[in-house]
A = this chain, B = another copy of it.
């Protein structure tokens, strides 16, 4: 017999796979799932169209995998903000702010992650993404209730509402085109974030901040 997959080959394939995912992500970040073409991704990655299918079952599968990775990255970022010496409420505010700012900085990406619908497989992944965030925020809210920085409440629902309020505030205005982001409510980006945060924190604490 001859040819047994060697370490070098495994490595090389893994790299190609990685490259494909990265290009897919770039394509999605630029124009959303809708306009991401397999053909174009292939040529970006410097491989033939058919080669994509050596690495992924289908277009769906490629996007699902890509989504999984991007999502994990984003969740990790936000999770980081949920550690530190501050009160849980303060940590949560930081995390929410980070979430909002990141979304605002890359609207097309945010849209793709949060809302753009593609196909059932992707929706499934998105659900996981949502749950990951929900769980994150939910935990922080529970902590806040324990350390007294937040009042008693339904943590699960509050966390969902938070994500929703932020996403809508950012994405609603930003969904269409990315060229001239943000003019929602006639505010500058950071003012927008501030205002969103005020609403969210009031919703959580039931206490007026900065009257």
Contact = CB atoms under 8 A, between A and B. Distances in A.
B185 A154 contact: yes
A156 interface: yes
B161 A165 contact: yes
A4 B47 CA distance: 62
A176 interface: yes
How many monomers of this chain does the complex have? Answer: 2
Interface string A97-131: 00000000000000000011100100110010010
A26 B185 CA distance: 34
Contacts of A195: 154, 157
Chain A, interface residues (CB within 8 Å), range: 35 or more
Interface in A186-205: 186-187, 192, 195-196, 198-200, 202-205
A60 to B, nearest CB: 14
A187 B156 CA distance: 10
Interface of A: 34, 115-117, 120, 123-124, 127, 130, 151-154, 156-158, 160-169, 172-173, 175-176, 184-187, 192, 195-196, 198-200, 202-209, 211
